[in-house]
Amino acid sequence: MSAKVWYLYNSGFAVQTAQHFLIFDYYLDKPKDGGLAQGVINPSEIKDLDVVVFASHSHYDHFNPVIFEWRAQLPKVRYVLSDDIRTREDAVMVHQGNSYDLGDMSVRVFDSTDIGVAFLVKVDGLCIYHAGDLNWWHWEGETQQYNLDMAKKYQSQINQMAGEQIDLAFVPVDPRLEGSYLRGLDYLMRTVGAKTAVPMHFGEDYSAFTRLMADEQAADYADRVELLNHRGQCFEL
C-alpha cells in the first residue's frame, strides 16, 4: 500500500500506485518538453503503465482536451470524466451520487459546490479523494443566504463520506477565500479525516502553506498536511 505523488499544477496531480498511474484534473501542458519533474504529463514517460485520467469538471483549469491526444502513445488509457464535460471520446462519464466499478478500481462520485464532481477512488488498497471544486466556498462579499446554503451543501457532501478511510485527500485551500481559506479542509479532516491531505487550487500563492502551518485551527492535523512549494514536486506515501 504505497504511492508516489506529483504536483502538476492548480488541482492537477499524478498518483502512481502499485498497479496504476492516476492523473487528476490535468491542465497546464507546458513546458512542451517537460515531464513529471516539471509538472507536465509526457505520455512517453508513462507508456508502460496502466493510466487512468480523471477530470472533475469542464472548467479550463481542471480539464484540458490534450488528455485525449495521449491515446496515441497510451492505447489502453482510460478516462473517467464528469458528465458536464462535452466530448465524444470514449470515456466513463460519471454523475454525482453514483458509484462505478471499473473492474480493478471503484469510484464513488460526489456533487461539487461549484460544477462537476468530486472523486473517491479505491485502487490497489488505497482510498484517494480528489475534491475537484467541491469546497466550502465562503466568500465575504456574498450574501449571508449564499454562505449559509454553501455551508449546508458542502457539509452534506462531506457527511456522506463519513466512515471512509481516506489515505490521500486532495482538497482546495484557496487563499482568495481570505479568513475562510481553511473551512473546506478543516471540515473534511474533522468529519472524515485523511492520513495525508494535500492542499490544491492555491494558484501561485504558496504562502497558504506557511499560514496553515501556523494556524491554530489546523493544529490537530497540520502534521498530516503535505507541504508543496513547487510544480513537479514529488512525495511518497
Which stretch, 65-73, 78-86, 130-138, 175-183, contacts Zn ion (CB under 5 A)? 130-138
Smallest separation (angstroms) from Zn ion to the CB of 113? 11
Smallest separation (angstroms) from Zn ion to the CB of 25? 8
Smallest separation (angstroms) from Zn ion to the CB of 134? 10
Which residue lies nearer to Zn ion by CB, 124 or 133?
133
Interface with Zn ion includes 25 (CB under 5 A)?
no
Q: Which of residues 25, 84, 124, 133 is near Zn ion by CB under 5 A?
A: 133
Smallest separation (angstroms) from Zn ion to the CB of 63? 10
- What are the φ and ψ backbone dihedral angles of 93, each rounded to 5 degrees? -95, 120
Query: What residue type is 4 in one-letter code?
Result: K
Which of 124, 120, 119, 90 is closest to 104 using CA atoms? 124
Residue 61: alpha-carbon gap to chain centroid: 12
Which residue lies nearer to Zn ion by CB, 25 or 186?
25
Helix (H, G, I), strand (E, B) or coil at 131: coil
Residue at shortest CB range from Zn ion: 133
Residue 143: alpha-carbon gap to chain centroid: 28
- And the C-alpha cell for 5? 505523488
Give me the torsion for CA of 180, 174, 60, 34, rounded to 10°. -170
Summarize as ranges the residues that interact with Zn ion (CB under 5 A): 133
